Structure 1
Amino acid sequence: MNIVILGGMGFLGRNLVAFLTRQANQRITVFDRLPLDHDAVKTLPTSVNYVQGEFVTGFDFTRIVHNADLIIHLVSTSVPGTEQGVIDEINANVIPSTELFQACVQEGVGRILFMSSGGTVYGASNKHKNSETDLPDPINTYGLQKIMIEQALHLAVRNSATDYQIVRLSNPYGPGQNPHGALGLVTKLVYQALNHDTIHIFGDGSVVRDFIYIDDAIQAIGDIVEHGDMNATYNVGRGIGTSVADVVNTIDAVLPERLNIVHTPGRAVDVPYSVLNIDKYHRISSIKEFVSLEEGIKRTYDFFKEHRQ
C-alpha cells in the first residue's frame, strides 16, 4: 500500500509509522510541520518519505495524496484544555480537513482513516460506556471540531469511490509521549513522580477516563486498517474506566517514589466520565489481553529512567 500519514511526527504518528514500516510492501509518506533538519525527522526510517508543510486552508493537498491508497489523518492544531473558540477551531481544523478530503476524492484515493476523539465527542455520558451509535454531544470545542470533521468526511466521500474509516480513540499514553505537553495524564504523572515534581490534579480526582497503552492503541488501529469494515466508525480504548484519583493511587503503589500532590480547581472543559464500549472493535481485534494500567505505568517509568527528558 501507498500510505500517507498527516501528523506523522506526533506521539501517535511516530508509533504508527514504526508499526507500518515493519509490515511488508508498505510505502510511507509522512506530512508534518517540522523542518527537515529537525532531530525528530532525522529519526525516521530511510524508507519513509517526509513532506514538510503547514496544515492550513489553501495548502495544495493534491500533491501529497496523489497515487495514495490510504490517507491517515492525525492532525489537530489543539487538544482538550487548550482549544480555541468555535470559529478558530473551524478555521484551523475543519476547513483544512474538508479541503484534504476533497483532494482525496479528486485524486481517487482508496481510503481515508480519520483519527477522531472517543474522549470528547460523546460529551457527559451519565456513567455509561459510549457506543459508536450514541449521539455525539460534545461539551468543548475540541470535540465539536472532531464531530464536524467526521461529518465533512461522510459528505466528501459520498457518491465517490473513496471509502472512509473513523477511529474514536480514548486516552493513549506511554513511552515517547511528551511529558511536558497538554495531553497524556498517565505519562505526565509518571514523569512527575520520577522527577519528584509537584503533581497538580484538576478537581477532586473523580474524573474518569479510558486509558490505553500506546502499543495497544497502535495495534488496534492496525487491526482496523487490515480487517475493519469500510465506511464505519470504531471506538478504541480498553473499555475500562479509571478515575484520576485511582491513577494516582496506582502510581503510588507501583513506583518507589513518594508523591507530592496538590489539587487545583476543576475545568469546565473536562468531561466528567468517558469510557468506551469497544465490542465492535473486539470482533476484529488481534489483541488477546490489553496492557494493564499497572504494567503500562511500569513500562513508562522504565522508559523515562533510561531516557531522561
Structure 2
Amino acid sequence: MARFAITGGTGFLGSALALELRALGHEVIFATRGRHPMYDTQRWVEYDLQDAATVANIIEARPDGIFHLAWSTTPGSAENDPSADAKTNLGGLLAVFQQIAKTMPVPLVFVSSGGTVYGKARRLPIPEDHPLDPLSIYGVTKVAAEQYAANFRKLQGLDVRVARLSNPFGASQSPAKLQGAASIFARQVVMGEPVTIWGDGSVVRDYIDVGDAARALIAIMTAPPLPMDRVPTYNVGSGDGASLNELLRMIGVAADTEPNVSYVKGRSFDIPANVLDIARLKADTGWKPRYSVQEALDRMVATLKRQLK
C-alpha cells in the first residue's frame, strides 16, 4: 500500500481518483482549502493554490506520490480574467514544484488539458507529439505549466508526469461550474429541461468516463520512471470523438427521451474537433477504458434518474 496526496481532491475528478486509489488499497491524503465534512483530519491537509506556505502541509504528510489536480479556472472563466488565471494557477503550481523538488522528489502527476493545449487539430486523432498551439487562455496557461514541468524535471530532477485529459463526465459532476457538456446535458435531459448548444452542434470532442480517467492517472503515476530529459506525457481520453449533436442523441437514447435543444452563436475559442490518440498510454501502461462512451452515458443517466426523480 502506498500513500498519495491529491490537490483539489474533493472535486469531481479528485473524488473519483480517491475512490479508485482506495479500491486498490492505497491511502489517500486530500489537500484542499477546506476540510470536507466526510474526511477526517487523518486524511486531510490544508492546501491553497494562493498560499505557498501550505505546500509544507503536503510535505509533512509524506506521500509516496502527488496528483496535482488543483486549478482555479475553467476555460470560460480564464478568458474573463487571464491575469488571475496565470497568477493563481502557475504561481501555485510553481510553489509545489519548487518545494517538492527540494525536500521530497516523489513522482508528481500534473493534470493538463488534452482539449485545449493542441488548438486546431492538424490530424485526428491527436498524438502527443502534435504541435501545441492553444486558442484559449486556459490552454495557454496549461501549456506554460507543462513547460515549467519539463524545466523542473530536467534541471532539478523532479519526476513530473503530464496527463493531457480530455472531457471526463459522470453523475457526480456539479453543474455549478458550467463545465462538462456530457454531465450537464444529461442532467438537463433527465430533468426535462431545455438544452442550449453553442454553435450548430458540429463541434467534436473526446468524452471519457471519470472512473476510467482516474484509473489512467493511477497508471501514469505507477508507470516505471523515464530518463529525466524526457517528460512522460500521455493523452487521457476514450480515443473516440462525438459531436455535440451526437452526444445529445446518445443521451436521448440512454434516457429514452427526445432532448429539447436550442442553438446560440458559437464561441471563438471553441475548436472544431478534438479527439485524442491514446495508443501511447495503452502501450506503456496497459490501461484502457472500461466503458465505451455510450455505456458510460447509460450508467450516468441511470444514476441521475435515481437521484433526480
Note whether the superposition's TM-score is higher than 0.5.
yes
CA distance, structure 2, for counterparts of residue 114 and residue 241 of structure 1: 24
What is the CA-CA distance between 1:80 and the residue it aligns to? 1.4
What is the CA-CA distance between 1:79 and the residue it aligns to? 1.0
> For residue 20 of structure 1, what is the aligned residue in structure 2?
21
Segments of 5+ residues of structure 2 without an aligned counterpart are: none
1:62 to 56, 60, 63: 56
Tell me the alpha carbon deviations over residues 142-170 of structure 1, each in whole angstroms, 9 at most, x when there is no partner: 01111111111221233434311100011
> For residue 70 of structure 2, what is the aligned residue in structure 1?
75
What is the CA-CA distance between 1:90 and the residue it aligns to? 1.3
Matched residue type, 1:275:
V
> For residue 102 of structure 2, what is the aligned residue in structure 1?
106
What is the CA-CA distance between 1:208 and the residue it aligns to? 0.5
Matched residue type, 2:50:
V
What is the CA-CA distance between 1:214 and the residue it aligns to? 1.3
Identity in percent: 28
1:139 to 135, 145, 148: 135
Listed as ranges, the matches of 1:1-309 within 5 Å are: 1-24=2-25, 26-33=26-33, 35-36=34-35, 41-44=36-39, 49-66=43-60, 67-83=62-78, 84-126=80-122, 128-227=124-223, 229-230=225-226, 231-287=231-287, 290-308=290-308
Matched residue type, 1:78:
T
Q: Matched residue pairs, number? A: 302
Tell me the alpha carbon deviations over residues 237-290 of structure 1, each in whole angstroms, 9 at most, x when there is no partner: 111111101111222233222321110111112121111111101114545654
1:4–1:65: 8 Å Cα contact kept in structure 2?
A: no
2:47–2:55: 8 Å Cα contact kept in structure 1?
A: no
Matched residue type, 2:239:
G
- Which deviates further from its counterpart, 297-306 or 159-168? 159-168
- Which deviates further from its counterpart, 152-161 or 142-151? 152-161
Where 2:219 maps in the other structure, the secondary structure is: helix
Where 1:210 maps in the other structure, the secondary structure is: strand
2:199–2:263: 8 Å Cα contact kept in structure 1?
A: yes
Matched residue type, 2:4:
I
Where 1:56 maps in the other structure, the secondary structure is: coil
CA distance, structure 2, for counterparts of residue 294 and residue 137 of structure 1: 30
What is the CA-CA distance between 1:99 and the residue it aligns to? 1.2
What is the CA-CA distance between 1:140 and the residue it aligns to? 0.5
CA distance, structure 1, for counterparts of residue 308 and residue 165 of structure 2: 28
1:129–1:276: 8 Å Cα contact kept in structure 2?
A: yes
Where 1:59 maps in the other structure, the secondary structure is: helix
CA distance, structure 2, for counterparts of residue 289 and residue 235 of structure 1: 12
1:69–1:109: 8 Å Cα contact kept in structure 2?
A: no
CA distance, structure 1, for counterparts of residue 57 and residue 195 of structure 2: 45
Segments of 5+ residues of structure 1 without an aligned counterpart are: none
Moved over 3 A (4+): 57-60, 228-231, 284-290
CA distance, structure 2, for counterparts of residue 127 and residue 243 of structure 1: 17
Q: 1:133 to 1:239 in 2, by over 3 A?
A: same
Q: 1:181 to 1:60 in 2, by over 3 A?
A: closer
Where 2:308 maps in the other structure, the secondary structure is: coil
- Which deviates further from its counterpart, 263-272 or 197-206? 263-272
1:172–1:184: 8 Å Cα contact kept in structure 2?
A: yes
Matched residue type, 1:43:
M
Matched residue type, 2:69:
L
Where 2:71 maps in the other structure, the secondary structure is: coil
What is the CA-CA distance between 1:191 and the residue it aligns to? 0.6
What is the CA-CA distance between 1:74 and the residue it aligns to? 0.3
CA distance, structure 2, for counterparts of residue 203 and residue 247 of structure 1: 14
CA distance, structure 2, for counterparts of residue 57 and residue 43 of structure 1: 24
1:108–1:162: 8 Å Cα contact kept in structure 2?
A: no
Tell me the alpha carbon deviations over residues 107-137 of structure 1, each in whole angstroms, 9 at most, x when there is no partner: 1222111000000000011452211111210
2:7–2:47: 8 Å Cα contact kept in structure 1?
A: no
